[in-house]
Structure 1
Amino acid sequence: MKTGKKILLLGSLIIFISSCVSLKEFNETKDRLTTENEQLKRNKMDLEAANAELKSRVEQLNSQNKELRSQLEEALYDLNVQKQSNSALQKDVDDLQKQMEALNSGSSAEIEKLLAELQEARGDLNSREDKLRAAEKELEERNAKLIELQNILAQQEQAVQDLKKKVMDALVGFNNNGLTVHEKNGKVYVSLEEKLLFKTGQWDVDPKGQQALKELSNVLAQNPDINIMVEGHTDDVPMHGSGAVKDNWDLSVMRATAVTKILTQNKQIDPKRIIAAGRSEYLPLSPDKTAEGRQMNRRTEIILTPNLDELLEIIDMN
């Protein structure tokens, strides 16, 4: 009887110790996830500020390009008018010269008057020619700047198209299997459906999704001038979690972070190039409240943007 009590007491002690260890691990995991969640929310605010600034700079670029074209057309018109005016003035000078030659036998007073008029006309012509040369120089500078801007815009567009092709070639095995690649507003969007990456309500990336992300990371490693943004998106069905992930905001952030961590396993990718952000349910692809519509909205988007520093430098120079 005493032996049975000892065994019962020993078993209770083992169960108690195991429970303590599990609770400690749970608390440590919860604290770590809470800290990461707060950091990612701060990253989200930084991302939104950076995105707003980039949009402003791009709008400034488009406005600058439009204004430069308008100024170029106006300068060309003024230049043609100036040339016509100079031609007319030169004709007047020639006429005065002829009149002076015809009056060589006339009175000295008439000749002096004619000489004064001729001198004034020549001075006016020289002044206009100086202005014309300055206008031509300014026109050449504006035209060179416009050509430079157009060339860089063309290079950026070609870079986007080349990047899109590289991404599609690298992920060809995943096309029509939960992954799409498209170009929009000078950026390449790699959209991965939830079924390719995660189980419902989870943020651990499935093996097949990990393989797709590793293939993509190889392309990104070979294109160091590309900035990377990872966005997590959910549907509008509320999530009521009790742990570190309590709602759709938390879930979208954790999924974006999980994808980012897999991409940065490639040591050739500088983590400074990547921003991870959660968008929750607020940027849906489909407004439908159907199962199909909500499935479309549950996705992770990897947005690839060419470096615009060279374009922004041209804007600042103007």
Structure 2
Amino acid sequence: MIKKTLLIAIGLMLLSSCVSKKIYTDLEDKYANLKKENRSLTDDVESLSADKTKLTNDLNSLQSAYDNAVKERDQLRSDYAATKSNLDNLKASYTALEKNSSEEITKNSKKNRELLAQLEAKEQALAAESARLNKLKTELENRSKRVAELESVIAAKDANMRALKDAISKALTNFEGKGLTVEQRDGKVYISMENKLLFQSGSWSVGSEGRRAVQQLGNVLAENPDIAILIEGHTDNVPYKGNAQLSGNWDLSTKRATAIVNILRENNAINPESLTAAGRGEYAPVASNDTTEGKAKNRRIEVILTPKLDEISKLLNEI
């Protein structure tokens, strides 16, 4: 456009030299108009160029915004897909959890019923055990009471036996040192009388001094009716060869025990039911038969006094 205007101007200048003033004036006016038009067109071009630049910038901005929008859309699509997948997974997990929860609730409910049944059974067993323990406690208290009574009875009988021993020792004081001993052991009183106090060798007839000792013993026993009286005859190990009526030491020991029983029976205060005679022969020695002194100790009568245990037996049966 500018080159065209310049060419026109140059042409006018060339023509001005050869054309009339009027024509020149017209041409100047046209040139002025063209120049004015040129400026206007230049302004329009500049304005359009600015508009173009602005439009280009706007287009670039819109393109950038579009690209960002596409990117955001794609990101949203990705987020949507991930969120939808998570939602589906949550729904599946919830469904599985709901199913499992129902099964667990049913299982736990059944287990709870079983536990309650076991608990009820244990409570019943505990109640029964408590009742049994209470019964045992009552029985134990009763037995403890009977044991205390038994201990009291035994203590009383021991005291009575000590008193009896003392009374017998006192009554037979005159025979001490003559083969007579009195002792208490195992709840019983043992009176041992050697044959030299009672019998002649090979005889079962009691001598006068021996009879007097047995009678004095009988006087004490008569005052103690609750005593069982066992009279045992003992010999040494020398075979008996005396009276043909006797078969041996055992027979002799029994005869001697019976002789003592008969003397005691002369005391009417002694209950015959409390008396027992037994022969032990040579089979319960208290000393060696290898010496004369030992044989003398083995030839003896033992009177064993035992408290009657009816009351104790009754208490024992009740325990």
* 1:301 match: secondary structure: strand
The one-letter code sitting in structure 2 at the alignment partner of 1:151 is S
Contact 2:218 2:267 in 1 (8 A): yes
* 1:279 match: secondary structure: strand
* 1:188 match: secondary structure: strand
Q: Which TM-score applies when normalising by structure 1?
A: 0.57
- Residue of structure 2 in register with 1:149 after alignment: 150
Question: Does the C-alpha gap of structure 1 residues 138 and 289 become closer, same or farther in structure 2, counting only changes over 3 Å?
Answer: same
Shift of 1:141: 2.0
Instruction: Give the structure with higher Rg (CA).
Output: 2
Measure the CA separation in 2 of the matches of 1:143 and 1:249: 46
- Residue of structure 2 in register with 1:102 after alignment: none
Shift of 1:288: 3.9
Matches within 5 A, 1:168-207: 168-207=169-208
Measure the CA separation in 1 of the matches of 2:302 and 2:226: 19
Where in structure 2 are there 5+ consecutive unaligned residues?
1-115
- Residue of structure 1 in register with 2:214 after alignment: 213
Question: Does the C-alpha gap of structure 1 residues 180 and 137 become closer, same or farther in structure 2, counting only changes over 3 Å?
Answer: same
Question: Does the C-alpha gap of structure 1 residues 130 and 202 become closer, same or farther in structure 2, counting only changes over 3 Å?
Answer: closer
Question: Does the C-alpha gap of structure 1 residues 263 and 180 become closer, same or farther in structure 2, counting only changes over 3 Å?
Answer: same
* 2:281 match: secondary structure: coil
Shift of 1:303: 0.7
Q: 1:153-201, CA deviations, whole angstroms, 9 ceiling, x for partnerless residues?
A: 2112112111111111111111122110011221111100111001111
Q: 1:254-292, CA deviations, whole angstroms, 9 ceiling, x for partnerless residues?
A: 111111111111111121111111111110001241101
The one-letter code sitting in structure 2 at the alignment partner of 1:193 is E
Measure the CA separation in 2 of the matches of 1:257 and 1:136: 52
Q: 1:33-59, CA deviations, whole angstroms, 9 ceiling, x for partnerless residues?
A: xxxxxxxxxxxxxxxxxxxxxxxxxxx
- Correspondence 1:264 to 2:251: no
Q: 1:55-81, CA deviations, whole angstroms, 9 ceiling, x for partnerless residues?
A: xxxxxxxxxxxxxxxxxxxxxxxxxxx
Matches within 5 A, 1:1-318: 134=135, 136-318=137-319
Question: Does the C-alpha gap of structure 1 residues 134 and 317 become closer, same or farther in structure 2, counting only changes over 3 Å?
Answer: closer
Shift of 1:147: 1.2
- Residue of structure 1 in register with 2:12 after alignment: none
Q: How many residues align?
A: 199
Q: 1:105-157, CA deviations, whole angstroms, 9 ceiling, x for partnerless residues?
A: xxxxxxxxxxxx9xx99xx7x95986775565344323212211211221121
Question: Does the C-alpha gap of structure 1 residues 204 and 148 become closer, same or farther in structure 2, counting only changes over 3 Å?
Answer: same
Q: 1:184-233, CA deviations, whole angstroms, 9 ceiling, x for partnerless residues?
A: 22111110011100111111111111110110000111100101111111
Question: Does the C-alpha gap of structure 1 residues 273 and 131 become closer, same or farther in structure 2, counting only changes over 3 Å?
Answer: closer
Percentage identity across aligned positions?
A: 43
Where in structure 1 are there 5+ consecutive unaligned residues?
1-116
Root-mean-square deviation (CA), in Å? 2.5
* 1:224 match: secondary structure: coil
Shift of 1:236: 0.4
Measure the CA separation in 2 of the matches of 1:197 and 1:232: 11
Question: Does the C-alpha gap of structure 1 residues 240 and 317 become closer, same or farther in structure 2, counting only changes over 3 Å?
Answer: same
The one-letter code sitting in structure 2 at the alignment partner of 1:275 is T
Measure the CA separation in 2 of the matches of 1:135 and 1:244: 62
Q: Name which structure has the greater RCO, CA cutoff 8 Å, separation 6+.
A: 1
Measure the CA separation in 1 of the matches of 2:136 and 2:301: 54
Measure the CA separation in 2 of the matches of 1:187 and 1:250: 26
Question: Does the C-alpha gap of structure 1 residues 247 and 134 become closer, same or farther in structure 2, counting only changes over 3 Å?
Answer: closer
- Residue of structure 2 in register with 1:31 after alignment: none
Measure the CA separation in 2 of the matches of 1:130 and 1:279: 55
Measure the CA separation in 2 of the matches of 1:129 and 1:272: 50
Measure the CA separation in 1 of the matches of 2:214 and 2:193: 10
Q: Which runs of 4+ in 1 moved over 3 A?
A: 126-139
Measure the CA separation in 2 of the matches of 1:185 and 1:163: 14
